[in-house]
């Protein structure tokens, strides 16, 4: 009779498989980092902070429509943005004190204030 213990079982190469997985992971991470670097270097450029254009604020006027206040050089533009359409609504020169002008345009209370007032109206504490 031949017992199973007498037969030689070849060892399972666990270490080799682990090395393959680690090398594949490093290769994938390097490909991701390389493509991100290429996109940043050769991709489309945008004017960032301190550039010629910046968005000062915006307000939703519909489900998918909004008005945006944009500063371009010394001019402020109010732009209407909708799906598939951008329209210049109004333009004006930049005011002498832009912080006061923006706060004048945005006189709406915050959502928290509105919620407190609504809660008090309904008899909340």
Query: pLDDT for 12-54, tens place per residue?
Result: 667 778 889 999 999 999 999 999 988 888 876 655 555 678 8
Cα–Cα dist 116/125, whole Å: 9
Q: Could you give the angle at the alpha carbon of 60 between the alpha carbons of 54 and 62, nearest 5°?
A: 140
Question: Cα dihedral sign for 109, 111, 112, 113?
Answer: positive
What is the tens place of the pLDDT at every residue in 93-116? Answer: 887 766 655 555 556 667 778 788
Q: pTM for this one?
A: 0.42
């Amino acid at each position: 009779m031949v017992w199973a213990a007498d037969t030689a079982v070849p060892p399972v190469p666990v270490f080799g498989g682990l090395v393959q997985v680690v090398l594949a992971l490093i290769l994938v991470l390097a490909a991701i980092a390389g493509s991100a670097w290429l996109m940043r270097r050769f991709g489309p450029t945008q004017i960032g902070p301190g550039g010629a254009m910046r968005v000062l604020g915006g307000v939703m006027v519909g489900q998918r429509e909004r008005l945006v206040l944009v500063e371009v050089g010394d001019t402020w533009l109010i732009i209407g943005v909708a799906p598939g359409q951008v329209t210049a609504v109004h333009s004006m020169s930049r005011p002498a004190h832009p912080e006061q002008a923006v706060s004048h345009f945005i006189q709406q209370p915050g959502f928290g204030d509105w919620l407190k007032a609504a809660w008090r109206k309904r008899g909340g504490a």
